[in-house]
Amino acid sequence: MNKTVKKVVIVVVGIGVLFIAILLFHIITAKPAVYENANLQVSRIDFKSNIDSLQAKQICTDLRTIKGLTSDSIIVKRNVVVYFHNNKITNSEKVFNELMSKRAYEAKRYVLLASMASKEVCPMNQNSFSYKLSKSINQFFN
């Protein structure tokens, strides 16, 4: 009985050490992901009246025909349309003008105030302990 328990403990500890070694190897050798989204931009169009479901479908259809928009990221809520576009291909002003040329929408392009354009938009509290801890761990392994 004593030898059996000793063998089980040795096997469990061995498996645990193996898993920890694999995890450490992965952490040390893993490279940070490189994203090609540096050219992806979010823009907004404000409509004067609320958008019903029929108008939302029509707006989405019109936006999907514009070159440079990512077709799966068009968000329509109440009287606002938010969309993502490739700023190497088009810009928000061109998209707005093309959309307005398709139909007679009563809308205006949302332009960010200059005072807000320079502000940082990180959603995480940069003074929190969890942010500082994750940043230091990330810097250690990179």
pLDDT at 37: 59
* pTM, rounded to two decimals: 0.58
Inter-CA distances, 142 with 27, 28, 124, 132, Å: 10, 9, 21, 15
Tens digits of per-residue pLDDT, 78-109? Answer: 888 898 888 888 888 999 999 999 988 899 99
Which helix (H) or strand (E) is 14 found in, with range? Answer: helix 2-29
Please say if the pLDDT value at position 142 is more than 70: no
pLDDT at 5: 92
pLDDT at 124: 73
Structure confidence at residue 7 as a pLDDT band (50, 70, 90): very high
For residue 5, count CB atoms less than 10 angstroms from its CB and return exposed for 0-12, middle for 13-18, buried for 19 or more: exposed
Based on its alpha-carbon atoms, the radius of gyration of the chain, rounded to whole angstroms, reads 26
pLDDT at 96: 92
**Residues forming beta bridges with residue 47, ordered by sequence position:** 107
**Chain-wide mean pLDDT for the chain?**
85
Higher pLDDT, 76 or 71: 76
Which helix (H) or strand (E) is 42 found in, with range? Answer: strand 40-47
Residue 55 CA to residue 38 CA, distance in Å, equals: 31
Tens digits of per-residue pLDDT, 37-70? Answer: 567 888 899 999 888 888 888 988 888 888 888 7
Structure confidence at residue 6 as a pLDDT band (50, 70, 90): very high
Inter-CA distances, 87 with 70, 90, 101, Å: 11, 5, 20
Residue 95 CA to residue 93 CA, distance in Å, equals: 5
